[in-house]
Structure 1
Amino acid sequence: MIERKIPRKRQHRWVMLRDRAYPTEDIYFLVSAAPELKKLGIEVDEVQTRSHWFPWRYTRALPAMFEEANVLVCRSLPTVWMKWLARNKHKLGHIVYLIDDNVKAAVHDKTLPDSYRRRMKDVVHYQPAILALTDEVVASSQQLADTLKTQHSKVSVLTPPLLASLPGFAHFDAPPSSKTPWMVGFYGTRAHVADLEHIAPAMVDLHHQRKDVAFEIMLGQYTPKALSSLARCYTPAPLPWNAFREYQCQQRIHIGLAPLWPTEFNAGKSYIKFLDIAAMGGVGIFSNRYPYNEVVEHGVDGMLANDDPNDWLQCMKTLLNNPAQTLSMAKNAAKKAASIGHHQHAFDFWRARTS
């Protein structure tokens, strides 16, 4: 239950200028906080900046929805909108810039897909102009915030909220066996293929050593060949954001994998994979570094593995060999996810910036 205090006047509003960063926009504002803000009488509007007809961009009159409104920009913005914001900044409320990746590091990280690096190069090109317009920068992790503090005087941290409802644990009723193999899942994006390749030898060895385990890797054709060739490895294609949210509510896993090797890009990541794995009913095995080693209590609500495939292999074996303890860890992970991912945190964060 989210606690709310009703404001005296309905004079506040937010306008999110959407630019195709749908997961980030939904997770940190539109799905987690906006519904509760609306219950207070705070108006929340969305504008699709790539498709919205913009007939008033050259006029002096400000559309009513923007009058004294707080404006939220996520990651990037078309040039025409940046110019419009610059001209009208004095008529608006606060302009807030939300970012969840170290885009500069992404451009120079050769382990990332070329298409992603090209997109981030465009973001980097225009980011200084966005930062110059912004009253506050909101980052999804403390290390990312520390990086951005060299570029802006006011940087805050909003850690990721949990959007999905937490499931039950009926999928743990049967212990791992050849008839009921436990599911080990990886649901990272293509930006984490290189991380997955580091632990692939452990997954191959586990598959060959025992028949009570299966893998699901949501990378489709981008799955490393060493894994896609395994008999009990399913490789569904990556889903669009809303379809993935639905899938996440239906699919159940026992173990989730979140490798995060030491790169400048990875250093800015949030702990959102802890929430994702808990949302699918699993126990996560995470790289033993920030941000996971600040959230996960090893052996209690997850496992922390070092940068050695054998360590990942041993963690998976430990969870498979001890189903009762693994169930207990899954329940603990769900409790922690519910706590650190509670929407109240996001609601309080944005409510404080509305008045």
Structure 2
Amino acid sequence: MAHHVIGLVTFRSCAANKMMRLREFSIHDWLGPASRTLPTTDLYFLNACHHWLDNSPFKSGPIRRIGANSFVSGDVTIVSRKERKAIVDKLLRRKDRRLFYIIDDNLWAAEEDATLPEDYRRRLIELRDGQHRALCKRADTIIVSTKPLADIYTAQGHKVVQLSPYWSDPIADHSHFEDLNTGARLEIGYLGSGTHAADRAFVVSVFEKLSAQGLDARLTMIGTRGVPDRIVNDARFRSLKNLRWPLYRKRLAKLRFHFLLYPILPSMFNQSRSINKVIEHAIVGGVGIYSDSWFCAEEIRDNAAGVVRTNDADLWTDTIMEHKNLIETGFLRSVSDFAKSQNQQNMEKQLRFWQSVLKL
């Protein structure tokens, strides 16, 4: 009997200790940081490396998350774009760790690029002159998303590695295009945020020209920033709520478009935009129309991965009005095949790089 009592007490003691350890963590610790994940974190690190992430007490792994956008593994620390001040301050005091810093925007464009909204320019400058400066000074390696960014950081004397974005979301099929044969409305989207002020104005101009020509089409944009009231109140316009990145991704998987507009008007900030949107457009099943001023334009044209046009709203309007040749099965397959191939290559390169860095 005594043996059983001791066993019961021991069991209860172990269970109590385990519960105490669990109580040290809250749902916020497991879900909170993940809910504040930035696109940069997912696209250049976490999408490819999530299977190595420690999710104790549910799953063990060699990479431990210490913030929404910061991770440690062995003697390596990874910070993506920005993090809570207390976490960054603590990381910067750890001189025994190698720091890898990920950044995917040209922060120096803030003062030079008048196309950016004023509040966004202020945020970029605050990041650049604050955390970004401290992290770059401490970093062993800076990971960037494009060659223009690589050139900037290399010129500053940093060790730089260029990685392209990887989406773990599935590429959509094109079954929704079949509805066009039975008179369905053309779904047009622009997935850039309100920070793309000049580009959004270009998209609005194209939509107004399409409406003037009587095309049965709906335009979807994220938010209404910079969109005139006459467009906001138009039944053929749909505004999607601005969401945090994890929720944005969940919503994206449910959306479908026929065409996605992505004008890259010449500006210092736009010069560094990655090929990211080409893959994102394939996730929502649409054909992208892109500016020939974008450095990705030649690759898109050569691989029939979308439509490339000069930055002329009339020309973009004509392209959409005469869209029948762009929704042929062969062209649609070419668009999705390029996105799948590019995405796969990006994932493989990321895995090789991070596996080498983390010695996994």
1:101 aligns with 2:105: yes
Alignment check: 8 A CA contact 1:21 1:74 kept: no
Aligned length: 320
C-alpha deviations, 1:203-235, integer Å up to 9, x for none?
A: 211122133322111223553445324331112
Q: Residues 119, 323 of structure 1: CA spacing in aligned structure 2 closer, same or farther, 3 A cutoff?
A: closer
Q: Residues 67, 252 of structure 1: CA spacing in aligned structure 2 closer, same or farther, 3 A cutoff?
A: closer
TM-score normalised over the length of structure 1: 0.81
Task: Give the match for residue 46 of structure 1.
Answer: 65
1:26 aligns with 2:42: yes
3-state SS of paired residue (1:348)? helix
C-alpha displacement at 1:256, in angstroms? 0.4
Task: Give the match for residue 303 of structure 1.
Answer: 307
1:210 paired residue among 194, 206, 214: 214
C-alpha deviations, 1:250-298, integer Å up to 9, x for none?
A: 1110000111111111111111111111110010001112333143126
Q: Residues 121, 187 of structure 1: CA spacing in aligned structure 2 closer, same or farther, 3 A cutoff?
A: same
Identity of aligned pairs, percent? 25
Q: Distance in 2 between matches of 1:203 and 1:299?
A: 27
Q: Return the structure number with greater helix share.
A: 2
Task: Give the match for residue 264 of structure 1.
Answer: 268
| 1:263-302 correspondence runs (5 A) | 263-297=267-301, 300-302=304-306
C-alpha displacement at 1:324, in angstroms? 4.1
TM-score normalised over the length of structure 2: 0.80
Q: Distance in 2 between matches of 1:284 and 1:233?
A: 19
Alignment check: 8 A CA contact 2:105 2:273 kept: yes
1:35 aligns with 2:57: no
Q: Distance in 2 between matches of 1:194 and 1:291?
A: 18
Alignment check: 8 A CA contact 2:153 2:160 kept: yes
Q: Distance in 1 between matches of 2:83 and 2:148?
A: 24
Q: Distance in 1 between matches of 2:338 and 2:84?
A: 38
Paired AA for residue 167 in structure 1: A
| 1:1-355 correspondence runs (5 A) | 22-35=38-51, 43-48=62-67, 68-90=74-96, 92=97, 94-126=98-130, 127-175=132-180, 179-220=183-224, 222-225=226-229, 227-297=231-301, 300-319=304-323, 321-322=324-325, 324-325=327-328, 327-342=329-344, 343-355=347-359
C-alpha displacement at 1:156, in angstroms? 1.1
Q: Which has the larger radius of gyration?
A: 2
Aligned Cα root-mean-square deviation (Å): 2.8
Q: Distance in 2 between matches of 1:150 and 1:103?
A: 15
C-alpha displacement at 1:21, in angstroms? 5.7
C-alpha displacement at 1:83, in angstroms? 4.3
3-state SS of paired residue (1:285)? strand
Q: Residues 232, 134 of structure 1: CA spacing in aligned structure 2 closer, same or farther, 3 A cutoff?
A: same
Paired AA for residue 31 in structure 1: N
Q: Distance in 2 between matches of 1:67 and 1:257?
A: 40
C-alpha displacement at 1:237, in angstroms? 2.0
Q: Residues 216, 86 of structure 1: CA spacing in aligned structure 2 closer, same or farther, 3 A cutoff?
A: closer
C-alpha deviations, 1:155-207, integer Å up to 9, x for none?
A: 11001112210112110112267x41110101101111321212432221112
Higher alpha-carbon deviation: 200-209 or 212-221:
212-221
3-state SS of paired residue (1:123)? helix
Task: Give the match for residue 62 of structure 1.
Answer: none
